[in-house]
């Protein structure tokens, strides 16, 4: 029997740069790409969408982005190129700007297209878009062979009743190290890890830390964002700020803390990767009832949820974690169970199967919708 030919897949997305802090989108793309490159049934080619932003004007960034997408369209539509499928990984904003172009290029060549959208703000951006952009999105981009969205709420919003399997749930996944050492019996060391910006609840976290017991503390770690800084902000005696992680990176940071604090009310919040990393490392999470966060953090099971913009509620949750060791240990166990469900290795085979489905559909002349009605997701 002849050996089955590997499927040639063009994978489009932002390859991480060698920096201290890498965006969640880049981390998610890198994790997915690593798994696809290991898959023996696929021949993976990569088209990098990353552009340098530091020190560059918005005009220069727009020019760079246009140049990258012109190169991409040329790569897809060149007559002598051969791709069995295209996997387009993008933010919601990138999808609205360029999704129609990528789909048109794939459609012109008859190449099946799968789109993965990072972040939880596709609904907001679609509502804010002008009429022309919204029509292109609804009538063209959203009709790609598969559209993978990060949250259940987004899937419900964009899944049509006549083709309910075209849009599928593909959550954030991570591969944080499992903590191997002895764990503390009591919560003392709280951590916020991520961009330092007001919408992430930074000021509320600082305020809440003032009411911690004397032997408990909060560490804020991450780069400042935009014009916001902590210069002149009184951190008190139970909070400290660290701009960059140690040499051991995120795993070392998580291993030296007990609880993740993530009091975000950022409008664009989806399924934050740092929450998954914390859970995989055995840290329960204190977060907010905001956007899709409750899809991941279940109050009383793997963490505690509080109202957004409420330092008193946040402080009470942190104190409960300190003063009730049995609660802390129970939530820690729940967090580990949840974290394991979102390890990339559990999801990669499903993505590979979907890619093969697309190729087989196109080879058989069938539509994605028809095949989906015959197969489970």
Q: Which two tokens stand for residue 219?
A: 């560490």
In the predicted model, is pLDDT for residue 375 greater than 80? no
Q: Write the pLDDT tens digit of every residue in 160-203.
A: 755 667 899 999 999 888 877 778 999 999 999 999 999 999 99
Which segments of the chain belong to CATH 3.40.50.2000? Answer: 7-173+344-374, 189-341
Q: Is 0.75 topped by the overall pTM? A: yes
Average pLDDT rounded to a whole number, residues 198-217: 97
Question: Is residue 366 very low, low, confident or very high in pLDDT (cuts 50, 70, 90)?
Answer: low
Q: What is the pLDDT at residue 16?
A: 84
The overall average pLDDT reported for the chain is 91
Q: What is the pLDDT at residue 160?
A: 74
Q: What is the pLDDT at residue 141?
A: 93
The answer to whether the CB of 50 falls within 8 A of the CB of 26 is yes
The answer to whether the CB of 8 falls within 8 A of the CB of 84 is yes
Quote the percentage of the chain above a pLDDT of 90: 76
Question: Between helices 311-323 and 325-341, what is the axis angle to 10°?
Answer: 100
Q: What is the pLDDT at residue 116?
A: 97
**Which of the two residues, 18 and 354, has the higher pLDDT score?**
354
CATH homologous superfamily of domain 189-341? Glycogen Phosphorylase B; (3.40.50.2000)
- The terminus-to-terminus CA distance of the chain in angstroms comes to 30
Domain 7-173+344-374: which topology? Rossmann fold (3.40.50)
Average pLDDT rounded to a whole number, residues 7-12: 97
In the predicted model, is pLDDT for residue 2 greater than 90? no
β-sheet with 217-221: strand ranges across: 239-242, 217-221, 189-193, 259-262, 285-288, 303-306
In the predicted model, is pLDDT for residue 373 greater than 60? no
β-sheet with 85-91: strand ranges across: 42-48, 7-13, 85-91, 113-118, 146-149, 167-169
Task: List the one residue out of 349, 173, 190 whose CA is nearest residue 277.
Answer: 173
Q: Which two tokens stand for residue 133?
A: 């952009």
**Which of the two residues, 22 and 322, has the higher pLDDT score?**
322
């Amino acid at each position: 029997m002849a050996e089955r030919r590997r499927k040639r897949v063009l994978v489009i997305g932002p390859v991480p740069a060698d920096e201290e802090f890498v965006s969640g989108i880049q981390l998610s793309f890198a994790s997915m790409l690593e798994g696809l490159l290991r898959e023996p049934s696929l021949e993976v080619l990569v088209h990098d969408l990353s552009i340098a932003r530091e020190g560059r004007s918005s005009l220069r960034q727009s020019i760079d982005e246009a140049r990258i997408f012109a190169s991409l369209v040329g790569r897809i539509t060149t007559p002598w190129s051969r791709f069995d499928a295209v996997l387009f990984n993008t933010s919601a904003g990138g999808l609205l700007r360029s999704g129609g172009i990528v789909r048109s290029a794939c459609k012109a060549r008859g190449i099946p297209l799968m789109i993965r959208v990072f972040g939880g703000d596709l609904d907001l951006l679609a509502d804010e878009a002008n009429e022309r952009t919204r029509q292109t999105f609804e009538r063209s981009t959203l009709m790609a062979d598969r559209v993978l969205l990060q949250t259940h709420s987004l899937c419900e919003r964009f899944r049509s009743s006549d083709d309910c399997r075209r849009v599928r749930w593909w959550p954030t996944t991570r591969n944080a190290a499992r903590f191997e050492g002895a764990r503390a019996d009591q919560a003392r060391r709280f951590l916020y890890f991520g961009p330092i910006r007001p919408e992430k609840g930074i000021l509320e976290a600082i305020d809440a830390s003032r009411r911690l017991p004397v032997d408990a503390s909060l560490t804020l770690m991450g780069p400042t964002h935009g014009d916001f800084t902590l210069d002149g902000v009184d951190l008190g005696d139970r909070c400290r700020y660290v701009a960059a992680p140690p040499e051991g990176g995120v795993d070392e940071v998580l291993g030296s803390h007990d609880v993740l604090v993530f009091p975000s009310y950022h409008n664009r919040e989806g399924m934050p990767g740092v929450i998954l990393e914390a859970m995989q490392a055995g840290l329960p999470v204190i977060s907010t009832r905001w956007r899709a966060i409750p899809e991941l953090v279940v109050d009383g099971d793997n963490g505690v949820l509080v109202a957004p913009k409420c330092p008193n509620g946040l402080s009470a949750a942190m104190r409960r974690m300190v003063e009730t060791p049995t609660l802390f240990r129970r939530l820690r166990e729940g967090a580990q169970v949840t974290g394991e469900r979102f390890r990339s290795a559990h999801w990669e085979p499903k993505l590979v199967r979907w890619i093969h489905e697309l190729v087989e559909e196109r080879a058989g002349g069938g539509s994605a919708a028809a095949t989906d009605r015959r197969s489970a997701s």
